[in-house]
Amino acid sequence: MTTASVSPPPETRVGHVLYLLYLAGLVSGFVTLLIALVVAYVYRTDAAPWLRAHYQFLISTFWIGLLYMVAAVVLSVLIIGLALPPLLVTAWFVIRCIVGWRALHQRLPPPRPSSWLW
């Protein structure tokens, strides 16, 4: 009787860690997001094409998310007390990380990596 391996394949470990760092950044602050962003920039040059798509997906997620969050904060300030826009951006960010994580786990490129949605 053989047991299935619980740990991700070696070539996907960095990607899994980066997705976790992105999600941890929601709780721990901006530092883990910046670390994951830098690592994604470094690792994307030597990665296989399907894995390079994940690194690009993570990079895009950071920059698009930053843009969305700035817009959400401006909207929240203009409409005093409305916390909905930042919550929507956070939900978008979490969904995007989950979608990327699932694709990485299946050893597939992320679906629609250039999309601004997910």
Q: pLDDT tens-digit profile of 58-75?
A: 999 999 999 999 988 888
SS3 20: helix
Asked if residue 58 lies in contact with residue 36, where contact means CB atoms within 8 angstroms, the answer is: yes
Q: Cα–Cα distance between 60 and 33 in angstroms, integer?
A: 12
pLDDT, tens digit (0-9, with 9 covering 90-100), for 4-36: 555 667 788 999 999 999 999 999 888 999 999
Specify the pTM: 0.87
Element (H, E) at 24: helix 13-28
Q: Cα–Cα distance between 100 and 108 in angstroms, integer?
A: 9
SS3 32: helix
Best CA proximity match to 22, nearest among 72, 51, 57, 47: 57
